[in-house]
Amino acid sequence: MKRKTLTQFLIEQQRGSAALPAEVRLLIEIVARACKAIGHAVGKGALGGVLGSLESENVQGEVQKKLDVLSNEILLEANEWGGQLAAMASEEMETVHLIPTHYPKGEYLLLFDPLDGSSNIDVNVSIGTIFSVLRAPAEARGREITEQDFLQPGTQQVVAGYALYGPQTMLILTVGTGVFGFTLDRELGSWVLTQENIRIPADTKEFAINMSNMRHWAPPVRRYVEECLAGKTGPRGKDFNMRWIASMVADVHRILNRGGIFMYPWDAREPTKPGKLRLMYEANPMSMLVEQAGGASTNGLQRILDIEPAALHERVSVILGSKNEVDLVTQYHHEAG
Ligand SMILES: O=P(O)(O)OC[C@H]1O[C@](O)(COP(=O)(O)O)[C@@H](O)[C@@H]1O
Ligand SMILES: [Mg+2]
Ligand SMILES: [Mg+2]
């Protein structure tokens, strides 16, 4: 079988009905190259001195791991000089990163969670990088980009994707024409198309949630999970399985491949926060991928991609995956008022 590389795939997307702009193609190639470098560092583990924590905390008050910072630096450096970007924003940086004046600038904005699943780094469990591309507002062209320019709903994303550093290194991508999966050929160093048009089944018997927070959940989430746990003899009439990897990339990857529902809902531990996960770096790109694969994604009441962000590091409650299950949890939230 003839192998198709990421470059070939992107050129097809450029020439085809998607008419992917050349700058976006280049931008994706650069992000993919940076992910390859991160994957390489991940693979070295203790031998590369990349495990463990730093003294520093990020803007959200979370202790930074060495790999959080290294991955952030790799993505910044790789993308600074390409000429496609106006600015970048990251989970690990307090505010936006402008393209230095001596580099050419473009009209796109890149957002990323450089290393997702930080608690799994030191225990050799799958982790990843999540990214999203927006266009700078037309009126921002020619002036300095501000945080405000990034505050666009997820529906405006031009590209969304993630790299998964697991038993295989993979890149999962959408440019709005379905979801495609690439596997890194580690000998040749190239991304090879291995999954076309990924679809999430509408029904599932598998849910993913951190069960240790059960006592803090809101009633609609508790109702849904209790009904799953009741199994065959309960209201759902079937037995459910549960998975929780604690790396959103890995949990979403499983859902893209065999269905399921993923939830990180609001809970009463920190009642003023809408959720743990970040809208711009995690929820929006994953929601675009999931919707492009035929699934659904809400915050319990509203489609995540429709949320008008108010802040760069905004948090959000996330319920995504197999459409019929997400619709049911969303219905329970509406019923609860
Ligand atoms: O440890 P918990 O509370 O189960 O949270 C796990 C969740 O936190 C995250 O690790 C947050 O991402 P970061 O590692 O980028 O902070 C998600 O990937 C994952 O779904
Ligand atoms: Mg994350
Ligand atoms: Mg992270």
CA of 44 to the centre of ligand 1 (A): 22
Q: Provide the token pair at 291.
A: 């919707």
Statement: the pTM of the whole predicted model exceeds 0.95? yes
Q: State whether the beta carbon of 120 lies less than 6 angstroms from ligand 1.
A: no
- Do 156 and 262 lie in a common domain? no
CATH number of the domain enclosing 158 = 3.30.540.10
- How does residue 1 score in pLDDT terms, banded at 50, 70 and 90? low
If one counts every other C-beta atom within 10 angstroms of the C-beta of residue 327, the result is 14
- Do 145 and 39 lie in a common domain? yes
The pair phi, psi for residue 96, each rounded to 5°, is -70, 150
- Burial code (b: 16+ CB inside 10 Å, e: under 16) for 76-99 equals bebbbebebbbbbbbbbbeebbbb
Average of pLDDT values for 246-269? 98
Question: What pLDDT, on a 0 to 100 scale, did the predictor assign at position 73?
Answer: 97
Q: State whether the beta carbon of 118 lies less than 6 angstroms from ligand 1.
A: yes
Q: Provide the token pair at 191.
A: 């991304």
- Do 221 and 313 lie in a common domain? yes
- Do 161 and 229 lie in a common domain? no
CA of 64 to the centre of ligand 3 (A): 9
**Beta carbons of 86 and 123 less than 8 angstroms apart:** no
Residue list, annotated binding site: 91, 113, 115-119, 210, 276, 282
Judged by its nearest atom, the ligand closest to the C-alpha of residue 121 is 1
ipTM over 0.90: yes
Q: State whether the beta carbon of 246 lies less than 6 angstroms from ligand 1.
A: yes
- Do 180 and 211 lie in a common domain? no
Asked if the model's pLDDT at residue 322 lies above 80, the reply is: yes
Question: What pLDDT, on a 0 to 100 scale, did the predictor assign at position 61?
Answer: 76
Judged by its nearest atom, the ligand closest to the C-alpha of residue 247 is 1
Compute the mean pLDDT over every residue in the chain, rounded to the nearest whole number. Answer: 96
CATH number of the domain enclosing 316 = 3.40.190.80
- Do 32 and 63 lie in a common domain? yes
pLDDT tens-digit series, residues 146-155: 999 999 999 9
Inside any domain, residue 323: yes
